[in-house]
Amino acid sequence: MDNMKLAKLLFPDVKLTPEDLELKYPPRDLPEGARVTRFAPSPTGYLHIGGLFGALTDVLVAKASQGVSYLRIEDTDKKREIDDGVSAIIKGFDAFGVEFDEGVTGFGTEKGDYGPYTQSQRVEIYHAVAKRMVENGLAYPCFCTAEELSALREQQEAEGALIRGYFGKYAKCRELSLEEIEENLAAGKPWVLRFRSQGSEDKRITFEDLIRGKIEMPENIIDEVLLKSDGIPTYHFAHVCDDHFMRTTHVIRGEEWLSSVPKHIAMFKACGYKVPKYVHTAQVMKFDDETGDKRKLSKRKDPEAAVSYFVEKGFPREAVIEYLLTLLNSNFEDWRRANPEADAMDFPFNLKKMGASGCLFDLLKLTDVSKNIISRMKAGDIYARVAEWTKDYAPDFHKTFTADPAFSTAILNIDREVPKPRKDIAKWDEVEDYLAYFFNEPQADPALLPERVSPADAKAIVAAYLPVYDPAEDKDAWFARLKTLCPDLGFCPEVKEYKKNPEAFKGHVGDVSSVVRLAVTGRTNTPDLCTIMQLLGKEKVSARLNAFAAKL
Ligand code: GLU
């Protein structure tokens, strides 16, 4: 077979050569040991939490080695693509502060010298490499129709072939003569370009996966499709061309690609390219709410599978990142203890500390992490974030919340910046309810009175407190005032004393303050009540005390 002639026949217009590409995309000038990683999503409409996992890994691995991370859009499967798929991905990363050094930055925009970073714009590159493979006798056109391919599958099934697919004696087009090919082309028959596999059935290959260790698998013998009939590459071929010319050193991708590695290694070798290091990451799992079984997070069943869920609920991005890192790297928590104030994105990510089995995503744990992080934020920061979040997700509350920024900030500041801050808020969608009694009159329910306090006692407490209540009192004076009311009401001013002799009293000062709390806020548990009352002001507090007494 005259391979040069065949290559010309198949790719008459391709002038670009792999040598041109080598010059255009030279090896990167990076320090020794620097890693080049990529995140390569298909724009199918949303960013999965597993995608955020992967991207974080890519970015941090590159950062920790003074390398480069980039975002490549793999849009070769037009059937699965949706219109604003790219925007959904970029928006997802923006929301979590995940930034790549290079690659696609928005719909139709990109940065970096190794682009284009969108596969549909790289067809020239794939064709240059494909043409060279034909010239080298490592690829051939296949004219088999869908019917022929399904007949082949049936034949293999009937024969009980151990390996299924287009290979060896089943690969009908592998041995077509140049004349036959010319005839087919002249007849306008559609064709795909196939890899001419050099593998053999009785050989095995080994490779090192950086988190799974040494892996042994049968060598690839399949004549895999490189270019589809429309000239668009398959994932496999695009992976080889792109990761070579973008000079990726570490291919970090989901474990579903592990079984394709023999194919990829064979193609890299056929092209004469260095095989990158492979890292196949575990899937994100959860315990099924109904069955309790561990299973993959599913787009259909689990709203939290989409990264947008965390934005919509108002989880601060730091909380999501922090939690993901605890799942991703077993030494993150030690590092965090040693560096409590550091930015999580400065974590020296270690691929070797990644687990090979599925990691368990637990919303409750994320909630705890988030409460901790929010408890350490400054009130002004929270104010700004809640103002921003409510604009999109709670527009009515947004108006109320932002009407008096100083007031809203002051109420968020209660019990904040103290040695043990309260951990009441996990996400911004809880703030409206959490602060409700500042903006709306509470409906205090007498059923919530402490057990030891009868409605008549509560009424007496309010009646005694109203005339002496002084909004100018600080916390200590405020509490001392409640104590002075206790003896006449039959309550003990000191909790300790009460505990020694509970029969002697109706209750203690804590019960008295609970009544005031319930009347003023409608709640049984709030941050510091004295500050709440100061912020509400005398008029509102008195009115609420009166309104509650009237219900008793
Ligand atoms: N586009 C592929 C996917 O979304 C990427 C796999 C890879 O990272 O190589 O699954």
N-to-C CA span, the chain: 100
Residue 326 is predicted with a pLDDT of 93
CATH class of 3-15+123-281: alpha beta
Q: Is the CB of 242 under 6 A from ligand 1?
A: no
Judged by average pLDDT, the poorest of 77-81, 96-100, 427-431, 438-442 is 77-81
Q: Is the CB of 40 under 6 A from ligand 1?
A: yes
131-173, pLDDT tens digit by residue?
Answer: 999 999 999 999 999 999 999 999 999 998 888 999 998 999 9
Index of the ligand 1 atom closest to the CA of residue 41: 4
Which of 434, 433, 435, 429 is CA-nearest to residue 390? 429
Sheet containing 225-227: give its strands across.
Answer: 139-142, 192-195, 225-227
| 40 CA from centroid of ligand 1 (Å) | 5
Atom 5, ligand 1: residue with shortest CA distance: 40
> What percentage of the chain has pLDDT greater than the value 90?
89
CB 194 within 8 A of CB 224: yes
Q: Is the CB of 74 under 6 A from ligand 1?
A: yes
411-458, pLDDT tens digit by residue?
Answer: 999 999 999 999 999 999 999 999 999 999 999 999 999 999 999 999
Residue 83 is predicted with a pLDDT of 61
Q: Is the CB of 75 under 6 A from ligand 1?
A: no
CATH class of 446-551: mainly alpha
| 229 CA from centroid of ligand 1 (Å) | 21
Residue 79 is predicted with a pLDDT of 66
What is the domain partition of the chain in residue ranges? Answer: 3-15+123-281, 379-439, 446-551
Index of the ligand 1 atom closest to the CA of residue 74: 1
Q: For residue 492, what are its two tokens?
A: 């003990």
127 pLDDT above the threshold of 80: yes
Atom 4, ligand 1: residue with shortest CA distance: 41
CA distance 295 to 389: 32
278-313, pLDDT tens digit by residue?
Answer: 999 988 899 888 898 899 988 888 999 999 999 999
pTM for this structure? Answer: 0.90
**What is the mean pLDDT of the segment spanning 358-364?**
90
